[in-house]
């Protein structure tokens, strides 16, 4: 379609144009009513809104990052466990910025844990005084974005409860799909709940005896197995007892979780390029890279991006349904809970698009490489005859590189005046002879960069993600279809709305193809499947009957 006529990009008109564009980005009822997009798509029906859900007003958010560490060999360990966890949480800060907490154990008493939690950023919560209290040989930590409960200090994790068998601490990333039925079951057993958090519910559910019963004390793997059968989606958990940590990933593998090894000083923290283990690690990270190397400790994390800063080597992912026991003697798999035979793995594909840090490793590949391929795929699907491609950090940068290499062979400059993580996009300027260069904005996930549009005559927007059209009930703050602009306007209407000459998304097929491009396995192997529910409305476990939001 023909783009709107623009004034020349002189400084005297810039502020007025920006104000106009801001106003146009605020959608009015008349915009919605004039929409020509297809409104006949199948809709996920919800009966009521879950307590606290959607209360976060910072845009698209993701619930939480978890981290755990344990020293090996003789205790007290030489590893500063609290410091390792703190640094690990700093690396996961992009996953949650509302609150954080660390709980440690010295491994001596089943009754006493050291704990410190608070609201705000990691560096503000864990000062020198707080860190001195967190002595221990093992510990777990958590950084939070709320989706299933209010952003209050009472909901800070890790949660600690005192059972007949000692203290238990739990940190959780995700959101229970069948929270309502599980809550009724726990309350029916006479257990009180003080918050609306899924994480407290998980903690209390772990205190229940498994159906098979127990002899000679609590069977924690059996309890975890029971919980996983009651709640198949969606979570990654770190569970700490007196002297052990359990790392748990739901049977669908919807939320990420990986293992790392703390190496002695002087060790190589990179993969062994010449080793057989390295090649196997690329097979979806399922091999044990360098497992025979001496370790000073083990770590578990939502993402691998923080391992290098703490002197740890990425080893592998926790597999879907796997329960990994971490102790002073090392790590071992104690159980694997299978998903239904007709179901594939359903790792959240939006981790690749937006949430994860670019230097993290998922499914044997760097997130950066997947985003790079998304940009290349988008250039094939929706090319622009461009002279210049520019990027705004952070999640759109890799896709911008991929798009630029496909279209013109290089990346040239950055979009001015933008600094928010929510404005991750790149720009393309067309070849147009003697006319001023047109300008194209690329955004990896949503529309929020508009301040530079007024400096160019033509604008083309390219988004390296399919449009979000459906709510997510597995740990991402997308509560209703009404909040999503793609359900109100088609691409042409959106382009007109933001003052662009064209706007195109990456297709769902293109995104899946880009993510699978560097993977060594395929969904037909039982791994490598991805959840695209927010894009297609196809939920991996189906929509539960008791969904309560």
Active site residues: 64
Sign of the C-alpha dihedral, residues 311, 314, 318, 324? negative
Give yes or no for a contact between 172 and 66, defined as CB atoms under 8 angstroms apart. yes
For 431-472, list the strands marked E by DSSP: 440-443, 460-463
What letter would DSSP give residue 110? S
Token pair recorded at residue 526: 């039982």
Token pair recorded at residue 350: 């939006």
The residue to which tokens 């997510």 are assigned? 472
Facing residues of 502 across strands?
A: 460
Listed residue (546, 545, 514) closest to 530, CA to CA: 514
B/e letters for 123-142, b = 16+ CB within 10 Å, e = fewer, are: eebbeeeebeebebbbbbbb
What letter would DSSP give residue 230? H
Burial of 46 (0-12, 13-18, 19+ CB in 10 A): middle
| 523 φ/ψ angles, rounded to the nearest 5 degrees | -55, -25
| Per-residue three-class SS string for 190-214 | CCCCCCCCHHHHHHHHCCCCCCCCC
Residues 6+ apart with CB under 8 A from 277: 287, 288, 289, 290, 291
CA-CA distance, 88 to 300, in Å (whole number)? 9
Token pair recorded at residue 113: 């844990």
Burial of 55 (0-12, 13-18, 19+ CB in 10 A): middle
């Amino acid at each position: 379609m023909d783009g709107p006529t623009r004034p020349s990009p002189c400084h005297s008109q810039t502020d007025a144009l920006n104000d106009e564009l801001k106003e146009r980005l605020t959608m009015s009822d008349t915009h919605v009513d004039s929409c020509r997009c297809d409104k006949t798509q199948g809709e996920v029906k919800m009966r009521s809104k879950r307590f606290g859900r959607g209360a976060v007003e910072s845009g698209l958010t993701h619930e939480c990052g978890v981290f755990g560490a344990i020293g090996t060999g003789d205790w007290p360990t030489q590893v500063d466990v609290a410091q390792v966890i703190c640094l690990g949480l700093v690396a996961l800060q992009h996953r949650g910025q509302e609150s954080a907490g660390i709980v440690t154990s010295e491994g001596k008493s089943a009754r006493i844990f050291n704990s410190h939690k608070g609201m705000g950023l990691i560096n503000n919560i864990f000062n020198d005084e707080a860190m001195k209290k967190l002595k221990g040989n093992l510990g777990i930590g958590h950084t939070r974005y709320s989706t299933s409960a209010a952003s209050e200090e009472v909901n800070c994790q890790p949660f600690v409860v005192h059972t007949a068998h000692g203290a238990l601490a739990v940190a959780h990333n995700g959101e229970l799909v069948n929270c309502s039925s599980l809550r009724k079951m726990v309350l029916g057993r006479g257990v009180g709940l003080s918050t609306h958090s899924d994480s407290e519910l998980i903690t209390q559910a772990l205190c229940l005896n498994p159906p098979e019963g127990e002899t000679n004390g609590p069977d924690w793997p059996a309890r975890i197995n029971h919980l996983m059968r009651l709640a198949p989606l969606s979570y990654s958990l770190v569970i700490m007892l007196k002297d052990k940590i359990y790392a748990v990933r739901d049977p669908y593998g919807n939320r990420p979780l990986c293992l790392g090894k703390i190496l002695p000083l002087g060790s190589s923290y990179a993969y062994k390029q010449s080793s057989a283990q390295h090649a196997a690690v690329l097979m979806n990270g399922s091999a044990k890279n360098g497992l025979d190397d001496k370790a000073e400790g083990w770590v578990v994390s939502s993402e691998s991006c923080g391992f290098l800063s703490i002197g740890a080597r990425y080893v592998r992912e926790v597999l879907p349904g796997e329960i990994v026991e971490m102790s002073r003697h090392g790590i071992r798999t104690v159980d694997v809970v299978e998903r239904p035979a007709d179901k594939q793995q359903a790792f959240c594909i939006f981790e690749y698009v937006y949430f994860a840090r670019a230097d993290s490793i998922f499914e044997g590949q760097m997130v950066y490489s997947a985003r790079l391929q998304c940009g290349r795929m988008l250039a094939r699907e929706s090319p622009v005859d461009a002279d210049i491609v520019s990027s705004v950090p952070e999640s759109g940068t890799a896709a911008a590189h991929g798009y630029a290499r496909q279209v013109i062979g290089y990346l040239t400059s950055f979009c001015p005046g933008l600094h928010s993580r929510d404005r991750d996009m790149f720009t393309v300027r067309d070849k147009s002879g003697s006319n001023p260069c047109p300008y194209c904005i690329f955004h990896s996930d949503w529309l929020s960069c508009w301040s530079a549009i007024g400096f160019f005559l033509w604008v083309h927007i390219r988004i390296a993600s399919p449009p979000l059209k459906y709510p997510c009930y597995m740990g991402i703050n997308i509560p209703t279809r009404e909040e999503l602009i793609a359900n109100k306007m088609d691409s042409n209407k959106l382009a007109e709305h933001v003052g662009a000459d064209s706007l195109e998304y990456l297709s769902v097929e293109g995104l899946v193809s880009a993510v699978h491009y560097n993977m060594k396995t395929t969904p037909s192997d039982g791994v490598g499947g991805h959840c695209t529910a927010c894009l297609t409305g196809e939920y991996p476990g189906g929509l539960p009957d008791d969904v309560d939001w």
